[in-house]
Amino acid sequence: MYNFKDKVVLVVGSSRGIGKRVHDKFTEYGADVFGISTDNCDISKQADIELYFSDLESVDILVNVAAINYSNKIEDVGFDEWDEVLDVNLRGYYYIIKKALGIMPDGGKIVNVSSIAGRHRSYTSGVHYTASKAGIIGLTKQVAFEVADRGINVNAVCPSQTKTDMLLETMTEKEIKKLEQVIPMGRLAEIDEVVNPIVFLCSDGASYITGTTLDINGGQL
């Protein structure tokens, strides 16, 4: 059982799926949890992020989960769609991390949710999504290097296809079965199988882990 009492946690993308479960888990473990969702902050807009952080005094733990995705192939991806995805999935992470570090005490924790797409490729996502998730891995490693002297741990997780409402709403049962055939464990990840490693990386047990990328993919790589 973890104890995050007196810790301030900011979860970006907290309204559903993995982000909502992360929010709920930290609440269960006693943290003071704040959530950014599309209802209260558009992370593709610097002004929205500035306004949101103006009400925060400190952040001990930051978990970046928010992402948007389209399945179009490169021939069908326009510049506007490319920018939309990168503005949320990568630029948004950069600016939120930048703001959070300004109010994060030494010894803080940051976990960024990338994807198997960023490590490998995607069967279901577009080139912009894959590029943004690869960028998150590079962002994580560089930030970890730059803030290591402050004792701040910065890591990423790369989950594969996870049984979220969004996935179940956008894929047919036949498509899911086909996807499961390429996963050595033969099934999608459950949400807690992604969330529990995130919580661990924010705990004292992970105090010497930084700049790493944790694959959560049922053996796909």
| pLDDT > 70: percent of the chain | 99
> Which runs of E-coded beta strand occur in 30-108?
32-36, 61-64
The answer to whether residue 175 is domain-embedded is: no
Task: Give the Cα separation of 194 and 156 in Å (integer).
Answer: 12
| Residue 167 pLDDT exceeds 90 | no
For residue 166, what pLDDT is reported? 73
At 156, which helix (H) or strand (E)?
Answer: strand 153-159
* Range 1-4, long-range pairs (CB < 8 A, 24+ positions): 1/29, 2/29, 2/199, 2/203, 3/29, 3/30, 4/29, 4/30, 4/31, 4/61, 4/202, 4/203
The answer to whether residue 109 is domain-embedded is: yes
The answer to whether residue 181 is domain-embedded is: no
**Mean pLDDT, range 153-162, rounded to an integer:** 94
Full residue range of the structural domain in which residue 124 is found: 8-164+191-216
Annotation marks residue 129 as catalytic? yes
The answer to whether residue 174 is domain-embedded is: no
| Residue 7 pLDDT exceeds 90 | yes
Model confidence, pTM: 0.94
CATH code for the domain of 84: 3.40.50.720
The answer to whether residue 14 is domain-embedded is: yes
For residue 119, what pLDDT is reported? 86
Considering the candidates 29, 52, 129, 208, report the single residue annotated as catalytic. Answer: 129
- Dig out the tokens for 127 from the structure: 């080139």
Task: Give the Cα separation of 101 and 109 in Å (integer).
Answer: 10
Q: What is the pLDDT of residues 40-84, one digit of tens each?
A: 999 999 999 999 999 999 999 999 999 988 888 888 889 999 899
211 secondary structure, DSSP code: S
SS3 111: strand
| Residue 216 pLDDT exceeds 90 | yes
Number of domains in the chain: 1
